[in-house]
Structures are given as C-alpha cells and as structure tokens.
Structure 1
Amino acid sequence: MRLSGLQKEVLGLYRQCLRECRKKPEATRKHFQTFAREEFEKSISLDKRDFSAIEFLLRKGRRQLEMYASPGVKDIRK
C-alpha cells in the first residue's frame, strides 16, 4: 500500500515523537509515550481527505514536540 505525502508526514512525526521519548529519563519515558499515542489516537477518525485539518494538526504536533523535546522537560502529566 502506497502512502500519500501527508500520511508519510504524520508517520514521520509519530516516529520523531517516539525517538524523543527515548531521550527522557527512564522513569518518565512511559508517560511521554502514552501522551504521544493518545494525541495521535484523538484524530484517528479524521477523514484522510480533510487536508486543512491534518495540516493544522501536524503544525500543532510539531510545536508540541519542540516544546516537550526541551531538555528541561523531565515529565509530562495530564
């Protein structure tokens, strides 16, 4: 199955999130992984032809990743 450009971007962002999780302290790593998974699952029912919504969520996700990837952020809670 071939993926569209947006699908590749979403998967790339998810992989990047998981890579960043590995840089966090072992004790809180699971919190980051769970948060990332839940954030992506919130939008799983989104129509894949809704390009503006997907692009908005990609921008939002990149901003969140940049914020949480900061070395000063040690844990994440809901």
Structure 2
Amino acid sequence: MPLPPVRRSGLQQEVVNLYRECFRAARLKPQANHVHFHAFIRMQFRKHSEVTRKDFATIEHLLRVGKRQLQVYSAPSIEDVTI
C-alpha cells in the first residue's frame, strides 16, 4: 500500500528544494569529488537541524545563506570541498 504524500509548508518545501539543488549541483563536479560534496552538504544541513519549524526568521536567513553558498560552490572553478 503506497504511503500518502507528505504535506509540507512552503518554507519546508523551500528547504527540501535547496537540499535537492545542492545535490544536483554536486553531480556537475568531478566524479571523484562527489563524495566530498555529499558529505559537505549533509554536514551543513545537519549543523542546523535543531532549528524549530516555528523559527521562521532563522530558517529564512539560513535559506538565504544556503542559496548564496550554492551559487559559490556551483561555480565551475570550484572542483572540490574539504570538511
């Protein structure tokens, strides 16, 4: 029996979309460095996992910061990250 679709608020969906965009951007990097990018992405999101759903200002701030970081790390000149 299939599970019903998950209902998310607009802000929650933005976080999920940013997470997915980060992994899509990592696919464009050299194959050998995918592991480093995946670990970095997970670390960044888990670092702020204690933020509550109701803390809208913090979530919006972190989304802005995350989108800026995504732009920087998506640049073709960035080929690897270190943790």
Task: Give the TM-score, by structure 1 length.
Answer: 0.96
- Alignment partner, residue 56 of structure 1: 61
- Within a 5 Å distance, the mapping from 1:1-78 to structure 2 comes to 1-78=6-83
- The runs of at least 4 consecutive aligned structure 1 residues that moved more than 2 Å come to none
Root mean square deviation of aligned Cα: 0.7
Partner AA of 1:32 in structure 2:
F
Q: Which amino acid aligns with 2:36?
A: H
- Aligned-residue sequence identity (percent) comes to 46
Higher Cα Rg, which structure: 2
Structure 1 residue 45: Cα displacement: 1.4
Aligned residues: 78
The answer for unaligned runs of 5 or more in structure 2 is 1-5
Letter in 2 for 1:57: L
Distance in 2 between the 1:23 and 1:58 partners?
Answer: 22
- How far apart are the structure 1 equivalents of 2:42 and 2:56? 21
